[in-house]
Amino acid sequence: MRLLPEGGMSIERVQARIDKERERFVSDLVSVVKIPSISSSSAHKKDVLACADYLAARAKKAGFERAGVFPTAGHPAVVAEWTKKKEAPTVLIYGHYDVQPVDPLNEWTTPPFEPTVRDGRLYGRGAVDDKGQVWAHLLACEAYLAETGSLPVNVKLLVEGEEEIGSEHLEALLTKEARRLEADFVVVSDTAMLDRGRPSICYGLRGLAYFELELKGSSTDLHSGSFGGGVKNPLHALSEIVMRLKDASGKILVPGFLDLVRPLSKDERDRIRALPHDEKTWRRPVGIPATAGDPDFSLLERLWARPTLDLNGIWGGFQGEGAKTVIPARAHAKLSCRLVPDQTPEAIFECLDSYLKKICPKEVELTFKQLHGGLPWVADISHPSFAAAARSMEKAFGAQTCYIREGGSIPFVRTIADATKRPCLLLGFGLPDENAHAPNEWLDLENYQKGIKSCAYLYDELARLPRE
Ligand SMILES: [Zn+2]
């Protein structure tokens, strides 16, 4: 065990500098939120590239020794490195500079790429997801380097340009640059806190399995007078199938579906139950009269640690104006499952496929295929780096850190966790209601400032951990 003597005085100087520069940090973020780096739109390919170039140049200006744009088969990633402290641990920080599309544009109060401050919030696409969170790290490093000429840990900043479109080419880049990206800890800042004033570390993400189903009846649409009563209507067959996927309480009826679900420990259930989370407050902005789901589990357990099966779309038959007496030839559905450890997309496909084959009415033909999938992830929070990260947020926010899970997915996390076997720390500075992916996305500027402070404390805390 070895403790580094540094920290102490210098971290306090760095924090004082961060306090002084608060105003500039906002205008600095504005300059990158302005760039319309929408990864899903081919019309914005140049902007995505411009954003990568801007970020690499900005990282160099912040004091990183090396910063470059790394091409992939899709949009490039940016890697910036500061690795002068050979004896200290290395932190790999992940974020993304690409953003979601902006439509419906007319619902934005101010244009998405003209970032505007109102009531202590910065409005603009990408403000919280994820440019503001990338900037928190960039500016914390910059403050450290400017104040002390050094960082307490080695830092490798990996900022990708395809997170919003599934990180398709990230794994290839991680393989190709495996040596360059070697690290002792991985830090991801792309999540939200439990609530305002509740700094949070996320230690679990759900996976995903996405499917498409088609039922085929007759070779073409049929006259319902001439054929009605003699043929099975695929839309009815689909409805029968859908009714047998879940019962009214929300329990999934597919045999084998829950077999691989790792049961929640009593400790974890107690911890989740103790979190300050109010169901009514949660429900209000969602706009629903009551919550739904398996009554054997609490709302947070259902959102974070239980699998789902949801219809995402269902279509077929006549949907135009007026009446058309037709028996459609085909019926379709898209469905997806959020997965929890130790479920896999393949295992879920197998049990859904055999169940659907069994319950499908014999008068129609079933095609069922998997579109894409990703594995769930959960971390062992007993690793000392989690307590270090919790302390760093506590110092910045002046409140106790909550350990939370997240119902969505960040494909990178499971990939990098498997590849490096290193602890992944998900420190998010967003809020659940900041309209990520929706019109009027915003970032709470108080959290932004405290996020920058948390990052600086984090590097200091991680430098003090005993090396493994
Ligand atoms: Zn994001």
CA separation for the pair 112, 114 (Å, rounded) = 6
Residue 329: per-residue pLDDT: 98
Angle, vertex CA 402, rays to CA 274 and CA 140, nearest 5: 170
Residue 7: per-residue pLDDT: 53
CA separation for the pair 98, 36 (Å, rounded) = 8
Cα of 108 from ligand 1 centre, angstroms: 20
Cα of 407 from ligand 1 centre, angstroms: 14
Residue 269: per-residue pLDDT: 97
Position 285 in a domain? no
Residue where one domain finishes, among candidates 356, 374, 392? 374
Position 356 in a domain? yes
Residue 205: per-residue pLDDT: 97
Residue 409: per-residue pLDDT: 86
Q: Residues 336, 402: one domain?
A: no
The count of domains in the chain is 2
Q: Residues 255, 339: one domain?
A: yes
Q: Residues 192, 135: one domain?
A: yes
Residue 70: per-residue pLDDT: 98
Cα of 220 from ligand 1 centre, angstroms: 44
Residue 3: per-residue pLDDT: 47
Which residue do the tokens 């104006």 mark? 321
Helix (DSSP H) and strand (DSSP E) numbers for the chain = 14, 18
Cα of 311 from ligand 1 centre, angstroms: 24
Q: Residues 395, 342: one domain?
A: no
CB 189 within 8 A of CB 451: yes
Residue 285: per-residue pLDDT: 82
Residue 8: per-residue pLDDT: 62
Cα of 98 from ligand 1 centre, angstroms: 8
Q: Residues 21, 169: one domain?
A: yes
Give, in order, the Cα–Cα distances in Å from 18 to each of 15, 127, 399.
Answer: 5, 19, 19
Assign 205 to helix, strand or coil.
strand
Q: Which CATH number do you get for residue 48?
A: 3.40.630.10
Q: Where in the sequence numbering do the catalytic residues fall?
A: 98, 163
The alpha helices in 228-265, defined as continuous H runs, are 234-243
Residue 1: per-residue pLDDT: 43
Residue 444: per-residue pLDDT: 98
Q: Mean pLDDT by 10-residue block, N- to C-terminus, for the chain (468 residues)?
A: 57 98 98 98 97 98 98 98 96 97 96 98 98 98 97 98 92 93 95 93 96 98 97 98 95 97 96 93 89 93 97 96 97 97 97 98 98 93 97 98 93 87 95 93 98 98 89
Domain hosting residue 348, numbered range: 207-261+307-374
Q: Residues 357, 411: one domain?
A: no
Residue where one domain finishes, among candidates 374, 399, 420? 374
User: Whose CA is closest to 72, among 100, 47, 48?
Assistant: 48
The reported pTM is: 0.90
pLDDT tens track for 151-189? 999 999 999 999 999 888 999 999 999 999 999 999 999
Q: Residues 201, 223: one domain?
A: no
